[in-house]
Amino acid sequence: MQNPNITILQTDILSDNWYTLNKVTFNILKKDGTTETQSREAYDRGNGAVILLYNNVSNSVILTRQFRLPTYINGNTTGMLIEACAGLLDNDNPEDCIKRETEEETGYKISKVEKVFEAYMSPGSVTEILYFFIAEYSQDMKINSGGGLEEEGENIEVLELSFDEALTMIDKGEIKDAKTIMLLQHLRIKGIL
């Protein structure tokens, strides 16, 4: 259902280089009954999915580490970020997407995933909604070394960490990725690990 207080007047593409950056001009009906025209920029990169693999027997999780330019520009001296496995949907449903991404990035072939929630990560400027999943893994599910797809410029390191170590890394500021922190805290709050 569309919001009756919002009327889109114009959408201009500012950039269509990597994904799409739009400038949207709209009218908004305010609480006092007046209408105001506003313009905002919104980056449309599509929707995505993220997963945290965990092992109850070894009390461990699988994370990844890769270079992220925006973090480098914003003061991360190495640009390397520790994250849960994630990817864009690319016209797949979220479950199929995250199974594909898990195999490509981590080398684990999983068949059963559990959706835990959905969240907008940066709703002030990015249209993306993320679908959050968890799944159990075992060493017999490891079918390749992972690392991502070379043709997509991915160079991903796969990390197997104890759950306690991952939580400590949040406290020390070594894990700063919001989606990863959310999933680790989900495991903690729900008593899964």
DSSP 103-158: HHHH-B-----EEEEEEES-TTTB--EEEEEEEE--GGGB-S-----GGGT---EE
The one-letter code for the residue type at 159 is L
What are the start-end ranges of the H helices in 33-68? none
Give the Cα separation of 111 and 50 in Å (integer): 15
Closest CA to 116 of 34, 191, 50, 170: 50
For the stretch 54-76, pLDDT in tens is 999 999 999 999 999 999 999 99
Q: Between vectors from CA 75 to CA 71 and to CA 80, what angle results, nearest 5°? A: 45
| Range with lowest mean pLDDT among 35-39, 90-94, 182-186 | 90-94
Instruction: Flag whether 105 is marked binding.
Output: yes
On whether the CB atoms of residues 158 and 137 are closer than 8 A, the answer is no
DSSP class of 4: T
- pLDDT > 70? residue 27: yes
Amino acid (one-letter) located at 176: K
pLDDT band of 153, cuts 50, 70, 90: low
Q: What is the pLDDT of residue 154?
A: 74
Dump pLDDT digits (tens) for 107-141. Answer: 999 999 999 999 999 999 999 999 999 999 999 99
Q: Could you tell me which residues are beta bridge partners of residue 101?
A: none
101 labelled binding-site residue: yes
**Whole-angstrom distance, CA of residue 187 vs CA of residue 119:** 17
How far is residue 52 CA from its own chain's centroid?
A: 11
Q: What is the pLDDT of residue 84?
A: 98
Q: How far is CA 16 from the centre of its chain?
A: 21
pTM: 0.93
Q: Give the pLDDT score at 148.
A: 77
The strand pair at 48-55 and 129-136 is best described as parallel
Domains of the chain, with CATH numbers?
A: 6-44 (no CATH), 48-189 (3.90.79.10)
Is residue 100 scored above 70 in pLDDT?
yes
Place of tokens 């007046």: 34
Q: Quick count: other Cβ atoms within 10 Å of Cβ 130?
A: 21
3-state secondary structure of 171: helix
